Amino acid sequence: MSTVPLKRPNTKLFAMVAAIVVVADQVTKHWATSSLNDGHVVHVIWTLQFSLAFNSGMAFSQGTNFGPVIGILAMGALVALAFALGKSPSTLTGVSMGLVLGGAVGNVLDRLLRGEGWLRGSVVDFIDLQWFPVFNVADMGVTIGGALLVLGALIQKEVMS
């Protein structure tokens, strides 16, 4: 009886995607806090504009008094993602989890470094569509990564059927 060797997860790809998201997020937040701190708004195209906002709560500025709790939950999610990566060798899953991890790290860094007190910082948001809550590159990583995880699960379910 022969066994099929399990493919190891592509941790280098996972880590690289996460690092790219963190760097892009922090660089763009630095630009936003430097260039838009006087209330200046940059109109880009159609309804897309860049305007500085600070979010001390969770998504869509809900739960503004729960910053430390949100930060702790995010750190727990980071640990869970790292463990879950080992159970799924798919490249799509690795990229998806890298996007989610990078986004979570980017926003946790804001909570750690942009406030007075442990995890009391506000997340820097600046991408403003004017018809949707203001967000940032980290939020895009979490959202796109989450959507890709769902898509990957649906594809895998279809293949297994």
Number of domains in the chain: 1
Active-site residue, 125 included: yes
Q: Which of 25, 110, 125, 128 is flagged as catalytic?
A: 125
Q: Which of 25, 110, 128, 139 is flagged as catalytic?
A: 139
Mean pLDDT throughout 81-101?
A: 80
Better pLDDT: 96 or 156: 96
Mean pLDDT throughout 3-9?
A: 51
In a domain, 41, yes or no: yes
In a domain, 1, yes or no: no
Active-site residue, 25 included: no
In a domain, 4, yes or no: no
* Residue 120 confidence (pLDDT): 77
In a domain, 159, yes or no: no
Could you tell me what percentage of the chain is helix, strand and coil, using 3-state DSSP and rounding each to the nearest 5?
Answer: 60, 10, 30
Q: pLDDT tens digits for 21-58?
A: 999 999 999 999 999 999 999 999 999 999 999 988 77
Q: Which domain holds residue 96?
A: 12-154
pTM for this prediction: 0.84
In a domain, 161, yes or no: no
